[in-house]
Structure 1
Amino acid sequence: MSISEIDFQQCRFCSDISQAVGESPIGTAGYYDYWLVTELPQPWSEAALEQNKLLKPYLEKIKFLIYKKGIKLRPLAIAPDPEYSQPGYTRVLFYRRPQYLFTCYQQAEYLIPDADLGNLVSALLIEPEKLIDFNQYQQNNTHQYDLLICTHGNIDVACSRYGYPLYQNWRKQANSQLRVWRCSHFGGHRFAPTAISLPDGRYWGHLIPEALSLITKQQGNLNDIKSYYRGWAGLEKWAQIAEREIWLHHGWDWCNYLKAGEVLEADKNKEWATVRIHYSSANGEDNGIYDAKIESIKELTTAGDSGSPPSMDVVKQYKATIL
């Protein structure tokens, strides 16, 4: 439900209901091999990228890659920032899965004249032989993290209600190693405030300001990730659930391990699955596999969307057992 349709005094926010019933956010991250993140001035419509006149001629190609070719690509919009942005130019962040086992997406960043945005996007996605034409616009990204916080209230008001205050808090803490952006919708508004950290590709939800150190400095009680961690975009849903359990078992150094996953078997009713996670330390000295069984343990009635009244959904909750 959009902002214009909501009576805020009567509204029940989906994220409040999700937290009240104790819903776990794990297993709700997207699963992608590529990310295309472009600056786009606000306000954003529900289909934010479609309002970009420079990008619009290429959207059909992007949709063809996603829906016809099955390319795991996630386009997103970020709001220009007075410190990061430059009038007349558009910043483009492009991430790709570098190999089968990996820990972070390979990143490329461009600050492109507005008129050349569509041509760059075409080169990144369709005509890589033309990327050489844009070398002069490539940026030396020395930031360890780009945090994208959803504030896209035209999708669900919970994202603006809770996402924007978190953005304001974290934006004040940005530094040479950390940039913080307002981002368009990427799913999971019932976990607002929700964010993606790149280039590691981790999704986070039900966030509080204090979680910043957990995400960017890997400091604090490791068990706290149970409350905030939605999953790693390098794995699909079942493997995301197992990967969190392995992280808790393995410790903080798991963040630096190369990994990949596969589903060995899954119940058609989504009651259980068995998965395998392949892993290796950066130097290759510690490597192997984890097998895990994922099982449904209960169902919860939670909110699908904010509203007065909100729409309600029944969702399964799972546990992972390392075998």
Structure 2
Amino acid sequence: MSTCASVSRDLDEPISGTAATAKTWLLLEQPGPWGAHALTSSHLDPALGRAVERAAKGTGVRIALIRRPGRHADCGTPSVRRVYASHTAPGNVWLHSAEVRDPRRLLDLDFAALGAGDHDSFGSALDGRPHTGDPLALVCTNGKRDRCCALLGRPLAAELSASGVDGVWEVTHLGGHRFSPTLLVLPYGYAYGRVGAHAVKEILHSVQDGRIVVEGCRGGSAWERPGQAAELAVRTAAGEYAADALSVVRMDGAAPRWEVTVAHVDGRHWRVAVAQSASLPPRAESCGTSVLGSPARMDVVAVRELAPSTALAS
């Protein structure tokens, strides 16, 4: 059976520069079934879902629902829900958690402050605290958005949970279901595609050491997609895998070509040329549609380390 994921894999579609963009992630636990647009088609009050979406619009905060791996019967309303917020910009990476009995408390959040990386706003509104456990491994499993997420994501989440990996949650939507199974790791916000359980365990071990695995990485959600591709290319070229070492500090140009400046905490800079093109041949980008499309791809054309004087001038 051909699926959007199998076609993408067979065509060897590049994966770099395809991650969802979000400076801050806000995650609300919601057990039970999810619809295609889970914030308004689950057991969460749809009016609340719409209100939270409106509050987050334009703030840099991306909202998703999460649930524990396993069967998802119509189990009613939980008495207590876990909430996570995570900011992913290097130099201010954090992951906080809270428990709420009434999810309407999310409307007490200052979404603009959250998007800007102010963790105090989360703690003061929800009595949240820094998350001291393992990193979060969020596996997209929402088959109502695309069957590949259910067919490939749910078995991965179940296998990780059964093997004792802590911090595993199912999540409603990470984008790019043709790269299923897809994964987001917090607090650093790097997304992965076409991953198996062994690879996820390696990724999580690296995150615990403050390091990033580049293989299978779609990009860091803190950056726009050209920046994601550029940052990963610099990591590979420089052999730099420390999570907080690199930042995208400038993007010049517009589609279909950008010049991206990537900075190292030690003062080094790189200029990266990134070109956007269409993935060919045309194919259905989702199992939910028969319309053929040519998804955009980000190709790194050149990576050049800048001399110190040039870097200061840029």
- Assess same fold via TM > 0.5: yes
Compute the displacement of 1:140 (Å). 5.2
> What CA distance in whole angstroms lies between the structure 1 residues aligned with 2:37 and 2:296?
29
Relative to structure 1, the CA distance from residue 296 to residue 208 in structure 2 (aligned partners, 3 Å threshold; closer, same or farther) is same
> What CA distance in whole angstroms lies between the structure 2 residues aligned with 1:72 and 1:206?
26
Alpha-carbon deviations, 1:264-289, whole Å to 9, x = none?
1124xx2x211111231xxxxx1232
TM-score, normalising length: structure 1: 0.78
Between Structure 1 and Structure 2, how many residues are aligned? 287
User: Of the candidates 260, 276, 287, which is equivalent to residue 275 of structure 1?
Assistant: 260
Give 2:65's aligned residue.
Answer: 77
Give 1:192's aligned residue.
Answer: 180
Compute the displacement of 1:105 (Å). 3.1
Whether 2:115 is the aligned partner of 1:125: answer no
Compute the displacement of 1:224 (Å). 8.0
Compute the displacement of 1:143 (Å). 2.1
Whether 2:86 is the aligned partner of 1:95: answer yes
Compute the displacement of 1:183 (Å). 1.0
> What CA distance in whole angstroms lies between the structure 1 residues aligned with 2:173 and 2:26?
14
Compute the displacement of 1:87 (Å). 5.0
> What CA distance in whole angstroms lies between the structure 1 residues aligned with 2:32 and 2:21?
27
Compute the displacement of 1:27 (Å). 1.0
Q: Secondary structure at the match of 1:234?
A: coil
Q: Structure 1 regions of 5+ residues with no counterpart?
A: 1-10, 281-285
Compute the displacement of 1:242 (Å). 0.7
User: Of the candidates 151, 157, 165, which is equivalent to residue 167 of structure 1?
Assistant: 157
Q: Which amino acid aligns with 2:286?
A: D
Q: Secondary structure at the match of 2:158?
A: helix
Q: Percent identity?
A: 22
Whether 2:285 is the aligned partner of 1:304: answer yes
TM alignment of 1:217-232, pairs within 5 A: 217-218=205-206, 225-226=214-215, 228-232=216-220
Compute the displacement of 1:163 (Å). 0.6
> What CA distance in whole angstroms lies between the structure 2 residues aligned with 1:109 and 1:66?
18
Q: Secondary structure at the match of 1:46?
A: coil
Residues 238, 294 of structure 1: 8 Å contact kept? yes
Residues 86, 93 of structure 2: 8 Å contact kept? yes
Alpha-carbon deviations, 1:166-225, whole Å to 9, x = none?
1112113344xx411111122101000001001110111011222124412239xx9983
> What CA distance in whole angstroms lies between the structure 2 residues aligned with 1:102 and 1:223?
12
> What CA distance in whole angstroms lies between the structure 2 residues aligned with 1:15 and 1:254?
30
Alpha-carbon deviations, 1:40-78, whole Å to 9, x = none?
1121111212245665444444333444xx222211011
Whether 2:308 is the aligned partner of 1:319: answer no
TM-score, normalising length: structure 2: 0.80
Q: CA RMSD in A?
A: 3.1
Give 2:95's aligned residue.
Answer: 107
Q: Structure 2 regions of 5+ residues with no counterpart?
A: 71-76, 114-119, 305-314
Give 2:35's aligned residue.
Answer: 45
> What CA distance in whole angstroms lies between the structure 1 residues aligned with 2:12 and 2:98?
41
> What CA distance in whole angstroms lies between the structure 1 residues aligned with 2:86 and 2:170?
18
